[in-house]
Structure 1
C-alpha cells in the first residue's frame, strides 16, 4: 500500500474548471472519502489519480513517485466504478481472474486461484463463482466488481460511488464489509461519494470539494465539529445544520451574518418559545420541526417524547457556529 499525494492539480474541460489548485495527501493505509455534490470535481480527481485523465497543471505522486506520463496500467491502482463494468460472457471466477492474468502481473495460476477464492469468501460470493455475470443480481454484480479490484493487491484502491446504485439494506451491508476489508488489509482507499453517511461511517479522513476546490480536509469528527464554512458544515450531519440570521437569538459576534446550529446545539427547555410544526418518530430518536420567529429549524429529542404538532417548546443556542456574509466560519 502507498501514500497518494496531489500537488497543485488543476483540470479544465474547455471553459469549465473541474479542479482548481488541489493539493491533497492521502496517508498510507487510510480510507479517504471525497465528499461533495455532483459537479464538485470528485470523479475528475479520481480519474487523474488513476491516469484516465491528465491534469493541466500539477502532479500526482503514488508511493513517492511522480505519475506524470504514466498510463493507468503502470500505476498499480485498482478502480471500482459506479456501474459494474463486468464482462457479461464470463463467469464470476473469470471476471475476478481477469486483472491477475495481465502480462504486467504474470500471476501464477495457483496464486490466482488462491486470491480469487479468498476474496470471494470475504464478499460472500463463493457459491456464485461459476455463474455467468448476467445471472447475478445488482448487489452480486457490484460485489464481483469490488472483488475484481481486491484481488489485485494494488498500491491504492480508487472507488467511484460503488454503492450508489444498490438498495438501502445492501448498501448498508456493503458499507460495513468495505470498511472491514480496508482495515484488515491496511489498504489505502480513495473513495468518492455524495452520501454523507458513507463518509461519516467509513472514512478516516474526508476531503470536502466545492466547484473543483478542496475547501476542508480532516477527520469526519473535525469537519463535523469544526467546519470552516456553511458549505463544509452542510456536507455532514443528519438532520442538516440549521442556518439562520445571526441575531435571531440575540447579539452576535462582530461580522457574523449567520448562526449555525446542529440539532444537538439547540438546548430545549430553556430560552424562547418555539412552535412544534411536525414530529417525526424514527425509532431511536424523534425529530422536531420547529417554527421560531418565522424561521424553520430541526432538532432531535428523546424517542418517547409526548410532544405533538402545535405544542410550544423553549429553545436557545448551545455553543453555536457563526459565519460571515460569504459563509466563512468566524472563530
Structure 2
C-alpha cells in the first residue's frame, strides 16, 4: 500500500470549476471517505488521481512519486465504479482473473488461480466461481466488481459510490464486508459517497466536500461533534441537525455574533411544561419502532428530534424544550466556540 497526496489540485470544465485548490493526504492503510452531494467534485477528484483527467494546476503524488503527468496504467491504482461493469459472457472466475491476464502484467496462471480463489473466499463468492455473471444477484455482481480490484493488490483502491445501486439490506451487508476486507488486507482506500451512513460506518477519516472545495477532514466523531461550519454540520446526523435563527432564542444567552444555533437530537431535551423559557408544540409524531421522530413547532420554526416511544406525546401538545450544549454559527455559517459564551 502507499500514501496518496494531492497538492492544490484544480480542474475546470468550461465555466464549471469542478475541483478548487484541493489538498488531501490519503495515508497508508487509511479508509478515507469523501462525502458530498452530486456535483461536489468527488468523482472528478478520483479521475484526477487515476490520470483519467489532467489537473489544470497542482500535483498528484503516489508513494512519494509525482505522477501528475503519468498515464493511468502506470499509477498502480484499482478503480471500483458505481455500476458493476462485468463481462456478462465470462464466468465469475474469468471476470476476477481478467485484470491479471492483461498483457501489461502477464501473471502466470497458477498465481492467477491462487489470487482469484483467495479473493473469492474473502468476498464469500467461492461457490460462484463457475457461474456466468448474468446468473448472479445484484449483491454478488458488486462483490465480483470489488473482487476485480482486490485481486490486483494495487497501491490504492478508489471506489466511486459502489453500493449506491443496491437495495438497503445489501448496502448494509456490503458496508460491513468492505470494512472487514479493508482491515484484513490493511488496504488504502479512497471512497466517495453522498451517503452519510456509509461515511460514518466505514471511514477512518471523512473529508466533506462542496462545490469542489474540501471543507473539513477528520475522524467521523470529530466531523460530527466539531463541524467547522453549518454546512458540514448538516451533512452528518439522523435526523438532520436543526438550524434555528438566533432571534427566536432571545430568552437564552448566546455567544456574541451568533446568528444560527445548531440543535442535534442530543442537544434537545423534552419535558412537561414547568415555567421554562422555551415552549414548543408537537406537530407530528412518527412511530419508528424503537424510537419516535417528534416534529415540533417552535415560534414558527420546525424542529425534529428523537423520543422514547413510551413517551405519550400527541399532536397539538405543548412541551418544554431544554437546550444542552448546542452548536453556534455566525452569519457566514462559521462555527463560534461555546467558550466565548
Q: Same fold (TM over 0.5)?
A: yes
Let me know the Cα RMSD of the aligned residues.
1.2
Match of 2:257 among 255, 258, 266: 255
- Cross-structure match for 1:24: 24
For 1:121 and 1:278, the matched residues in 2 are separated by: 49
Bigger drift between 187-196 and 301-310 goes to 301-310
For 2:122 and 2:318, the matched residues in 1 are separated by: 52
2:317 is the counterpart of 1:311: yes
Deviation of 1:133 (Å): 1.3
Q: Deviations over 1:153-185 (max 9, x none)?
A: 110000000000000000000000000000111
Q: Deviations over 1:265-307 (max 9, x none)?
A: 1122273221111112222322111111111001112232222
- Cross-structure match for 1:115: 115
Alignment of structure 1 residues 61-72 onto 2, 5 Å: 61-72=61-72
For 1:303 and 1:187, the matched residues in 2 are separated by: 42
| 8 Å CA contact 1:258, 1:324 repeated in 2 | yes
- Cross-structure match for 2:161: 161
For the residue of structure 2 that corresponds to 1:278, the secondary structure is strand
Deviation of 1:88 (Å): 1.6
Match of 1:292 among 274, 284, 298: 298
For the residue of structure 1 that corresponds to 2:115, the secondary structure is helix
- Cross-structure match for 1:280: 286
- Cross-structure match for 1:141: 141
Bigger drift between 62-71 and 148-157 goes to 62-71
Runs of 5+ consecutive residues of structure 2 not aligned to the other structure: none
Alignment of structure 1 residues 2-81 onto 2, 5 Å: 2-81=2-81
Q: Deviations over 1:41-74 (max 9, x none)?
A: 0000011111111111001111111112211111
| 8 Å CA contact 1:249, 1:316 repeated in 2 | no
Deviation of 1:146 (Å): 0.5
Runs of 5+ consecutive residues of structure 1 not aligned to the other structure: none
For 1:273 and 1:244, the matched residues in 2 are separated by: 14
For 1:48 and 1:20, the matched residues in 2 are separated by: 12
For 2:98 and 2:316, the matched residues in 1 are separated by: 62
Structure 2 length as normaliser, TM-score?
0.94
For the residue of structure 2 that corresponds to 1:248, the secondary structure is helix
Alignment of structure 1 residues 187-198 onto 2, 5 Å: 187-198=187-198
Structure 1 length as normaliser, TM-score?
0.97
For the residue of structure 2 that corresponds to 1:52, the secondary structure is coil
Bigger drift between 157-166 and 303-312 goes to 303-312
For 2:100 and 2:233, the matched residues in 1 are separated by: 42
- Cross-structure match for 2:207: 207
| 8 Å CA contact 1:60, 1:66 repeated in 2 | yes
- Cross-structure match for 2:175: 175
For the residue of structure 2 that corresponds to 1:206, the secondary structure is strand
For 1:183 and 1:313, the matched residues in 2 are separated by: 47
Bigger drift between 95-104 and 279-288 goes to 279-288
2:151 is the counterpart of 1:151: yes
Bigger drift between 145-154 and 131-140 goes to 131-140
For the residue of structure 2 that corresponds to 1:255, the secondary structure is coil
Deviation of 1:137 (Å): 2.1
Bigger drift between 165-174 and 98-107 goes to 98-107
Equivalent residues, number: 331
Q: Deviations over 1:96-122 (max 9, x none)?
A: 001111233332211211111111122
